[in-house]
């Protein structure tokens, strides 16, 4: 009789043990399906041995960390993302002795990375425009810290084809830089011209907003001119191309096909130096990829990072 009771108790305990996860699954399925989906992806990441790295994002010339907000909006919420102001920009300090060349900026970003101990594990590095130049040189200089890298319309390359901005640069050089620099507007009209230069998509911006954008930038224009001259100098102008052969991490390049600032032909230069890289060329998009195509940009970045669980990423063109 005692044996029968023990057997019944054992069956009850076993049944309860099995029922708890089943009931939990049913509850999640009915009440919190989103949690069930997250658990599903977590299970497969663990099964496949995948880990999503931290992501450090570097903005372009005369911009700031909030530039990335449009892209971050479409990235998974559980990611560890850091958007940092580039040296001297927005919330960072400036001194007369700072080096704002590409290599100087790389050193400052590395100081930041070491200070917050981001390099305890390899991280994914993203840079756009000037930030792409810095990101590429960083990956070449500190290869052990980088697990993968995304360059978006990067500067620092000898582009086979010229752009509208290249014509402006030639005029500037001939004038010994006495003409206004298109990327450093000081009036609402110049601001509108800059936005047209940087973006293929035409955004309708009220005059009052244009004035506000100029007012925010005006106190920094002398600094922007200093940085502009630094990154055009012989030590920085082609820094990315000079360091491409030293990049060992899997590389993705995203470029707007209608970029008028740095020509999309630069993507072929990168692919020739690093044949295993992934190319994503965006139709109907200019230089301001993160502003014009934020959802697509976020999707491409995540596709690339996830693909590294099984492959270094094929060469691919996307519209």
Higher pLDDT, 63 or 172: 63
Q: Which of 8-12, 15-19, 187-191 has the highest mean pLDDT?
A: 187-191
The token pair at 229 is 């001259």
Q: Quote the tokens at residue 187.
A: 């009036």
pLDDT band at 3 (very low <50, low <70, confident <90, very high): low
Mean pLDDT value of segment 73-91: 92
Per DSSP, helices labelled H in 96-237 are: 102-115, 130-141, 164-174, 188-198, 207-217, 221-232
CA distance 226 to 230: 6
User: Under a CB-based contact definition with an 8 Å cutoff, are residues 292 and 200 in contact?
Assistant: yes
Three-state DSSP state, 304: helix
C-beta of residue 273 within 8 angstroms of C-beta of residue 246: no
Least confident of 11-20, 90-99, 110-119, 290-299: 11-20
Does residue 14 have a pLDDT over 80? no
From the candidates 259, 263, 280, 288, which is the catalytic residue?
259
**Residues 290, 293, 295, 297, CA torsion sign:** negative
pLDDT at 178: 79
Q: Could you tell me if 144 and 136 are in contact, meaning their C-beta atoms sit under 8 angstroms apart?
A: no
Least confident of 29-33, 99-103, 104-108, 129-133: 29-33
Mean pLDDT of the chain: 87
Per-residue pLDDT band at 197 (split at 50, 70, 90): very high
Task: Give the pLDDT of residue 36.
Answer: 52
- Take residue 91 and report the two structure tokens written for it: 């919330």
Q: Which residue has the higher pLDDT, 4 or 211?
A: 211
Has residue 123 got a pLDDT over 90? yes
DSSP state of 163: -
% of the chain beyond a pLDDT of 90: 68
Which tens digit of pLDDT belongs to each residue from 277-319? Answer: 999 999 999 999 999 999 999 999 999 999 987 433 333 333 3
The pLDDT value recorded for residue 137 is: 98
Of the candidate ranges 79-83, 137-141, 307-311, the one whose mean pLDDT is the lowest: 307-311
151 phi and psi angles, rounded to 5 deg: -110, 125
pLDDT tens, residue by residue, 97-115? 689 999 999 999 999 999 9
| Active-site annotation holder among 168, 236, 287, 288 | 287
Residue in 54, 62, 101, 129 annotated catalytic: 129
Q: What value does the mean pLDDT take over residues 118-143?
A: 97
Burial of 76 per CB tally in 10 Å (0-12, 13-18, 19+): exposed
Residue 127 CA to residue 130 CA, distance in Å, equals 8
Confidence bin at 40 (pLDDT 50/70/90): low
Residue 58: predicted pLDDT: 98
Q: Name every residue whose Cβ is closer than 8 Å to that of residue 234 and which is 6 or more positions away in sequence.
A: none
Alpha-carbon distance of 140 to 248, in angstroms, equals: 7
| Residue 235, pLDDT score | 87
When mean pLDDT is compared over 42-56, 83-97, 187-201, the highest value belongs to 187-201
In sequence order, the 6+-apart residues with CB closer than 8 A to the CB of 188 are: 207, 210, 211, 214
The pTM assigned to this predicted structure is: 0.82
Q: What is the pLDDT of residue 317?
A: 36
What are φ and ψ of residue 268, in 5° steps? -65, -35
Nearest to 88 by CA among 254, 228, 246: 228
* Known catalytic residue at 129: yes
What is the distance between the alpha carbons of residues 254 and 262, in angstroms, rounded to a whole number? 12
Q: Identify the pLDDT of residue 95.
A: 79
Q: Which two tokens stand for residue 65?
A: 């960390």
Phi-psi region of 117 (alpha: psi -120 to 50; beta: other; left: phi over 0): left
Read off the pLDDT of each residue in 20-33 and give the average, rounded to a whole number: 63
* pLDDT tops 60 at residue 41: no
Identify the three-state secondary structure at position 76. coil
Task: Supply the pLDDT for residue 314.
Answer: 36
């Amino acid at each position: 009789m005692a044996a029968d009771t023990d057997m019944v108790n054992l069956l009850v305990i076993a049944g309860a043990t099995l029922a708890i996860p089943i009931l939990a699954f049913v509850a999640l399925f009915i009440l919190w399906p989103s949690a069930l989906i997250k658990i599903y992806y977590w299970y497969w990441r663990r099964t496949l041995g995948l880990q999503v790295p931290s992501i450090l994002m570097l903005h372009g010339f005369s911009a700031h960390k909030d530039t990335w907000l449009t892209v971050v909006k479409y990235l998974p919420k559980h990611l560890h993302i850091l958007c940092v102001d580039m040296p001297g920009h927005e919330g960072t300090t400036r001194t007369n002795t700072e080096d704002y060349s590409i290599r100087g900026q790389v050193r400052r970003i590395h100081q930041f990375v070491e200070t917050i101990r981001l390099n305890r594990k390899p991280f994914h590095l993203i840079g756009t425009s000037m930030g792409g130049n810095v990101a590429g040189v960083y990956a070449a200089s500190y290869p052990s810290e980088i697990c993968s890298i995304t360059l978006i319309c990067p500067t620092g390359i000898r582009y086979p084809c010229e752009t509208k901005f290249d014509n402006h640069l030639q005029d500037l050089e001939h004038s010994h830089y006495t003409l206004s620099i298109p990327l450093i507007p000081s009036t609402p009209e110049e601001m509108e011209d800059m936005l047209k230069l940087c973006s293929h998509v035409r955004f309708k911006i009220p005059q009052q907003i244009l004035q506000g954008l100029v007012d925010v930038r005006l106190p920094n224009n002398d600094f922007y001119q200093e940085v502009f001259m630094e990154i055009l100098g012989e030590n920085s102008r082609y820094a990315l191309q000079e360091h491409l052969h030293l990049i060992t991490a899997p590389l993705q390049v995203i470029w707007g096909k209608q970029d008028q600032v740095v020509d999309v032909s630069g993507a072929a230069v990168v692919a020739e130096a690093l044949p295993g890289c992934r190319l994503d060329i965006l139709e109907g998009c200019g230089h301001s990829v993160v502003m014009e195509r934020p959802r697509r940009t976020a999707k491409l970045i995540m596709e690339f990072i996830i693909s590294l669980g099984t492959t270094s990423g094929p060469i691919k063109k996307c519209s």
